[in-house]
Amino acid sequence: MNRTNSERCYEEALKYIVGGVNSPSRAFKAVGGGAPVFMERGKGAYFWDVDGNRYIDYLAAYGPLIHGHGHPHIAKAIAKTAENGVLYGTPTTLEIDFAKMLQKAIPSLEKIRFVNSGTEAVMTTIRVARAYTQRDKIIKFAGCYHGHSDLVLVAAGSGPSTLGIPDSAGIPQSIANEVITVPFNDLNGLEQALHYWGKEVAAVLVEPIVGNFGMVHPEPGFLEGINELAHKHGALVIYDEVITAFRFHYGGAQDLLKVYPDMTALGKIIGGGLPIGAYGGRQDIMEKVAPLGPAYQAGTMAGNPASISAGIACLEALQEPGTYERLDELGRRLEEGLREAARSHGYPVTINRIKGALTVYFGRTEPVRNYEDAQSTDGELFGRFFKLMLEEGVCLAPSKYEAWFISTAHSREDIEYTIEAAERAFAKLPD
Ligand code: PMP
């Protein structure tokens, strides 16, 4: 496949844009390097690069594109706001419509605020939880990603009662000292951390189904245990549903699993492809937010008509009967086909799938249930597989930790083609 234009664009981008990319995950650093593919247009399940090559898209822009590219209903909604003016800086009725829609789908959102990104949404839930509890520390789970605000860019310490180590330069140790990291699916670890720090913890923050070290399901009782332990120690529970909300069914992972947090952060799918975030939760907690309460949060672009209209259109389209059953069915076939392709070529893999989202972990057949397990998988082999799939016209996320996302635009033929492409890719991998 010829990608000389992408290579040229990358060289040009490097002159002006730091690292040539506007988000580090778009670089090909984790898959052996090289120029990332510069995309030019998308339609349905496909996008085309600047050299005219077509790819089946499983990246889905890291999650938001559950309807693929250029969905007519969403495109129309965006075009309409473009004509009517994209920003007023005043309240609009669209915001009420969308807040109602979200609240109906995710009833724990007794009160909602719209912001502009998942990062903002999570960052603000933490601030509000701190304001409500008048405590400073948070507990998070190793490998979960919650955006790039200072507090959540902190990695695990060496044990459950160790404070955090900044994951990025530029984060003061004093901020990292407010974060405790424990392994996912480990209630004992959480119990120990709360035993030690309990009185200082404002909130336990978790992706209820993990999407950031691949797709990892909570074990039975884990989320219930988080609620029980956090509440026993006077801490709130925050679900980061930036990836999970509306991904597996019409609602949050909380509604699917029937375990409910005090606060929730949303993003990605709810913007229909435009920038958005939202947070919400129990009314008495949300009343701490300005102008009602002392916790400040604001935004020039917050609740802008374009993002809200796109979000409404996206959710309307998701209400089509059979949507999630179909995503699950396509996911099942893809999982089965990839597993067989890997097996027939002698490659041990573990595939974690939740409905229409899955991760293929290379070099491991034991279950992947936490970050340590995911870290132990073979990133180099994944990198080679990733590039071979790209040559076949199948675009995955360039990291062993990301998910493959199926959209409502994928057809059965796309899935069958992908399985055949994977068979050819496995056949070419080194022994
Ligand atoms: N939380 C989770 C679970 C995410 O996956 C992400 C983004 N990948 C974020 C928060 C941050 O969202 P954004 O990139 O919109 O700031």
pLDDT, one tens digit per residue, over 1-26 is 999 999 999 999 999 999 999 999 99
Q: How far is the CA of 51 from the centre of ligand 1 (A)?
A: 30
Q: Which atom of ligand 1 is nearest the CA belonging to 147?
A: 11
Residue located nearest, by CA, to atom 5 of ligand 1:
243
Average pLDDT over residues 146-151: 94
Residues with CB under 6 A from ligand 1: 62, 117-119, 122, 145-147, 207, 211-212, 240, 242-243, 267
d(CA 244, CA 221): 19
Phi and psi angles of residue 168, each rounded to the nearest 5 degrees, phi first: -140, 150
Q: Are 130 and 197 in contact (CB under 8 A)?
A: no
pTM for the whole structure: 0.97
d(CA 91, CA 97): 12
Q: How far is the CA of 59 from the centre of ligand 1 (A)?
A: 14
**What pLDDT, on a 0 to 100 scale, did the predictor assign at position 162?**
54
Q: How far is the CA of 431 from the centre of ligand 1 (A)?
A: 36
Q: How far is the CA of 142 from the centre of ligand 1 (A)?
A: 15
Regarding whether 221 and 170 lie in a shared domain, the answer is yes
Is 49 inside any structural domain?
no
Catalytic-role residue among 49, 57, 186, 240: 240
Q: What angle do CA 343, 335, 330 make, to 5 degrees?
A: 150
Regarding whether 110 and 18 lie in a shared domain, the answer is no
At residue 405 the predicted structure's pLDDT band, cuts being 50, 70 and 90, is very high
Q: Which atom of ligand 1 is nearest the CA belonging to 244?
A: 3
Three-state secondary structure string covering 22-81: CCHHHCCHHHCCCCCCCEEEEEECEEEECCCCEEEECCHHHCCCCCCECCHHHHHHHHHH
Is 249 inside any structural domain?
yes
Residue located nearest, by CA, to atom 1 of ligand 1:
146
Q: Which atom of ligand 1 is nearest the CA belonging to 62?
A: 8
Per-residue pLDDT at 161 exceeds 60:
no
In eight-state DSSP terms, residue 217 is: P
Is 241 inside any structural domain?
yes
Instruction: Return the best residue to mutate from 215, 244, 268, 405 for the ligand 1 pocket (most ligand atoms within 8 A of CB).
Output: 268
Question: For the segment 41-70, what is each residue's pLDDT rounded down to a tens digit?
Answer: 999 999 999 999 999 999 999 999 999 999
Per-residue pLDDT at 336 exceeds 60:
yes
Domain boundary among 318, 349, 377: 318
**What pLDDT, on a 0 to 100 scale, did the predictor assign at position 158?**
46
Is 427 inside any structural domain?
no
d(CA 221, CA 51): 50
**What pLDDT, on a 0 to 100 scale, did the predictor assign at position 156?**
58
**What pLDDT, on a 0 to 100 scale, did the predictor assign at position 160?**
46
At residue 202 the predicted structure's pLDDT band, cuts being 50, 70 and 90, is very high
Q: How far is the CA of 108 from the centre of ligand 1 (A)?
A: 20
The closest of 238, 285, 251 to 101, measured between CA atoms, is 251
For 394, how many CA atoms within 13 A lie in the half-sphere containing its CB? 24
In eight-state DSSP terms, residue 198 is: G
Query: Is 260 among the catalytic positions?
Result: no
Which structure tokens are listed for 197?
């720090």
**What pLDDT, on a 0 to 100 scale, did the predictor assign at position 165?**
73
Question: For the segment 338-353, what is each residue's pLDDT rounded down to a tens digit?
Answer: 999 999 999 999 999 9
Residues in the chain: 431
Regarding whether 83 and 33 lie in a shared domain, the answer is no
Q: What angle do CA 48, 53, 59 make, to 5 degrees?
A: 50
**What pLDDT, on a 0 to 100 scale, did the predictor assign at position 335?**
98
Per-residue pLDDT at 142 exceeds 50:
yes
Regarding whether 184 and 327 lie in a shared domain, the answer is no
Instruction: Return the best residue to mutate from 114, 119, 150, 402 for the ligand 1 pocket (most ligand atoms within 8 A of CB).
Output: 119
Q: Which contacts of 330-334 are long-range, i.e. CB under 8 A and separated by 24 or more positions?
A: 330/356, 330/406, 330/410, 330/412, 330/415, 331/355, 331/356, 331/357, 331/358, 331/406, 333/412, 333/415, 333/416, 333/419, 334/358, 334/404, 334/406, 334/415, 334/418, 334/419
Residue located nearest, by CA, to atom 12 of ligand 1:
118
What CATH number has the domain bearing residue 240? Answer: 3.40.640.10
Regarding whether 245 and 335 lie in a shared domain, the answer is no
Domain boundary among 295, 318, 341: 318
d(CA 40, CA 343): 36
Cβ-proximal residues to 325 (8 Å cutoff; 6+ apart), any chain = none
ipTM for this prediction: 0.99
Mean residue pLDDT across the chain? 96
Identify the residue whose tokens are 């947070």.
279
Catalytic-role residue among 268, 324, 355, 414: 268
3 state SS of 353? strand
Cβ-proximal residues to 52 (8 Å cutoff; 6+ apart), any chain = none
Regarding whether 388 and 278 lie in a shared domain, the answer is no
At residue 154 the predicted structure's pLDDT band, cuts being 50, 70 and 90, is confident
Regarding whether 337 and 197 lie in a shared domain, the answer is no
Regarding whether 344 and 296 lie in a shared domain, the answer is no
Regarding whether 94 and 35 lie in a shared domain, the answer is no
Per-residue pLDDT at 230 exceeds 90:
yes
Domain boundary among 266, 287, 318: 318
Sign of CA dihedral 113, 209, 371, 376: negative
Regarding whether 381 and 353 lie in a shared domain, the answer is yes
Regarding whether 386 and 239 lie in a shared domain, the answer is no
Regarding whether 359 and 327 lie in a shared domain, the answer is yes
Residue located nearest, by CA, to atom 7 of ligand 1:
147
Q: How far is the CA of 427 from the centre of ligand 1 (A)?
A: 35
Catalytic-role residue among 58, 62, 132, 145: 145
Beta strands in 244-385 (DSSP E): 263-267, 277-281, 349-354, 357-362
What CATH number has the domain bearing residue 383? Answer: 3.90.1150.10
Per-residue pLDDT at 140 exceeds 60:
yes
Q: Which atom of ligand 1 is nearest the CA belonging to 268?
A: 15
> How many domains is the chain partitioned into structurally?
3
Average pLDDT over residues 289-295: 97
How many CB atoms lie under 10 A from the CB of residue 162? 14
For 194, how many CA atoms within 13 A lie in the half-sphere containing its CB? 23
Is 413 inside any structural domain?
no
Instruction: Return the best residue to mutate from 25, 120, 122, 238 for the ligand 1 pocket (most ligand atoms within 8 A of CB).
Output: 122
Is 415 inside any structural domain?
no
**What pLDDT, on a 0 to 100 scale, did the predictor assign at position 430?**
81
- Domain holding 255, by residue range, is 72-318
Is 431 inside any structural domain?
no
Question: For the segment 369-390, what is each residue's pLDDT rounded down to a tens digit?
Answer: 999 999 999 999 999 999 999 9
Q: How far is the CA of 120 from the centre of ligand 1 (A)?
A: 9
96 class by beta-carbon count within 10 Å (0-12 exposed, 13-18 middle, 19+ buried): exposed
Q: How far is the CA of 110 from the centre of ligand 1 (A)?
A: 22
Residue located nearest, by CA, to atom 13 of ligand 1:
118
At residue 157 the predicted structure's pLDDT band, cuts being 50, 70 and 90, is low
Is 124 inside any structural domain?
yes
Residue located nearest, by CA, to atom 9 of ligand 1:
147
Per-residue pLDDT at 233 exceeds 70:
yes
